[in-house]
Amino acid sequence: MRDAYIVSAVRTPGCRRSKGALAQTSPEKLIVQALNGAIERAGIDKGVVDDLMLGCSFPEAEQGLNIGRVALQMAGFPDNVSGATVNRFCASGLESVAQSATRIMAGWSEVCMAGGVESMSIVPMGGNMPRPLASWAKENPDVYVSMGVTAENVANRYKITRAQQDEFAYHSQMKAAEAQKNGHFTEIIPTTADRFVEKADGTIVCETFVQTFDDGVRPTTMEGLAKLRTVFAALGSVTAGNSSQTTDGAAASVIMSGDAVKKYGVKPLAKLVCYTTAGCKADEMGVGPAYAIPKLLKLAGVKVEEVGLWELNEAFASQAIYSAQQIGIDDKKYWSYDSPDKKININGGAIALGHPLGCTGSKLLATLVANMQRLGVRYGVESMCIGGGMGAAALLELCE
């Protein structure tokens, strides 16, 4: 089987749902800019791309009509470039990378693209008209339960305290703020956004501006976090402060075979070594990485100690902490913002930067590759839990 190389990986800023900078920008416009940014960084012609896999958790309304194909047309790709929309909920963006890479590995394609998009401001979580099958919902309601409730279940069953969750959240915010200050988010492309403004005469006009940073990062203290009310259970421990932010964003990458890398004179950034998924109980879906990561490392023949960087998606602090415990990387030195040994979410995670659902897997890929390049780390892993009771994980290897 051939190798699949990541030759570029970019993302838009991640901005808060409804109140953030991208709230009035259509998802099509976001992913078009990510696709063009990835092509520009790769330095190749759009016509050499064979296919695009685009992750989206709720592919309907503005994100519907096979946005994976529509976005290519909007971005000016020629008609010969095909595209599809992929949905594995929170891992949709990573699933897109895996599917595109698999085509390269199998010899079916030489150049592919992958990506993810989600406008949680425009298309609500759950979609506009969710309709679970009533008979099945009565028999097994856990499949449809709120993600926040599953986070409470994880905290209760595995004794993850409120203090632990708040501390983890605090460090996520601090790491993100530090990364912004030091200019470490090199994977972000400046993104043109829209906002609709009412003028004095009552007319509404669309104005454009450029957004260059994640706008969910905010000053946080442990005392402030402790004052927040719980959201999903009156006597629970999950709050808005120790949960991921609902966010808008898009990301894209270019993936090539070794032959294509040589043909187009491109310098590869990282190699996708392995990808896998694993199932778990739906009512504790957050523990998915605790199953997917060991399975991934066993398949790849790589030990936990060999992994230098982890992007462990922070859907909720409770599930991220539990997953880290089960993998054996829960020592505070691995995730504390002021630790020289930190290797988990070193630029902060979804608690600070947001979780734009179908975009997240591609977004984390861009961040992980950028950090592996910056620090010279050989192996990096990204993983996330998935609604309905699953986990996904991918192993990347740095190219010399």
- pLDDT tens per residue, range 153-180: 999 999 999 999 999 999 999 999 999 9
Q: What is the per-residue pLDDT across 182-205, written as a single tens digit (0 to 9) for each?
A: 999 999 999 999 999 999 999 999
For 24, 141, 216, 314, the CA distances from 97, given in Å and listed in that order, are 27, 31, 26, 20
- Alpha-carbon gap, residue 288 to 361, rounded angstroms: 14
- Mean pLDDT of all residues in 89-102: 98
What share of residues in the chain are helix, strand, coil (percent, to 5)? 40, 25, 35
Q: What is the per-residue pLDDT across 228-247, written as a single tens digit (0 to 9) for each?
A: 999 999 999 999 999 999 99
273-289 burial, b at 16+ Cβ within 10 Å, e below that, comes to: bbbbbbebebbbbbbbb
The answer to the question of residue 16 being in a domain is yes
Answer for the pair 167, 222: CB distance below 8 angstroms, yes or no. Answer: yes
Percent of the chain with pLDDT over 70: 100
Answer for the pair 123, 63: CB distance below 8 angstroms, yes or no. Answer: yes
The answer to the question of residue 57 being in a domain is yes
- Alpha-carbon gap, residue 54 to 69, rounded angstroms: 9
Our count of domains for the chain comes to 1
- Confidence (pLDDT) at 33: 98
Average pLDDT of the chain, as a whole number? 97
The CATH number given to whatever domain includes residue 178 is 3.40.47.10
The answer to the question of residue 218 being in a domain is no
Q: What is the per-residue pLDDT across 132-154, written as a single tens digit (0 to 9) for each?
A: 888 888 888 888 888 999 999 99
Query: Which residues constitute the domain of residue 269?
Result: 5-122+173-190+243-394
- Confidence (pLDDT) at 237: 97
The answer to the question of residue 300 being in a domain is yes
The answer to the question of residue 139 being in a domain is no
Percent of the chain with pLDDT over 90: 94
Instruction: Tell me the chain's radius of gyration from C-alpha atoms.
Output: 20
The answer to the question of residue 354 being in a domain is yes
Q: What is the per-residue pLDDT across 261-311, written as a single tens digit (0 to 9) for each?
A: 999 999 999 999 999 999 999 999 999 999 999 999 999 999 999 999 999
- Confidence (pLDDT) at 173: 98
Q: What is the phi/psi pair of residue 241, to 5°?
A: -75, -25
**pLDDT over 90 (residue 322):** yes
- Confidence (pLDDT) at 92: 98
Catalytic positions, please?
Answer: 90, 355, 385
